Amino acid sequence: MECQFVADVFEWRGPAPFHFVRVPDDIAVEIKILAPTLTYGWGVIPAEVSVGATTVTTSVFPKDGGYLVPLKDALRKPEGIALGDTVTVDLRLGH
């Protein structure tokens, strides 16, 4: 599955602070349908994420009925992404 969406960058504080975007609800519904065939456990789905010219491998994971996409430093730093920014995300699941 491939999709593109626009979302705001936020910080979720778990054991360490991390930067995320939330997948829009309409796309999350599609992901939920495909999740059983894509997940490697606990609903976590391997993915490639691109913002601008930078692409990283990561995993999308379920949270509060939707899905979160982590924005690794390897993605944020070259693209100059900060908390509160609005970014266009290209998401490819199952990679």
Provide the token pair at 3. 């999709």
Residue 67 lies in a domain: yes
Query: Which tens digits make up the pLDDT trace of 44-56?
Result: 999 999 999 999 9
Whether 68 is covered by a domain: the verdict is yes
pTM: 0.92
Examine residue 14 and state whether it is found in any structural domain, yes or no: yes
Q: Do the domain assignments include residue 95?
A: no
Task: Flag whether 43 is in a domain.
Answer: yes
Amino acid at 22: R
Distance of CA 33 to the CA centre of its chain: 17
Tally Cβ neighbours within 10 Å of residue 39. Answer: 19
CATH number at residue 37: 2.40.30.100
What digits encode the pLDDT tens for the residues 59-86?
999 999 999 999 999 999 999 999 999 9
Residue 71, SS3? Answer: coil
Domain total for the chain?
1
Structural domain harbouring 35: 2-89
Residue 46 domain-assigned? yes
The model's pLDDT over 4-61, given as tens digits with 9 standing for 90+, comes to 999 999 998 776 669 999 999 999 999 999 999 999 888 899 999 999 999 999 999 9
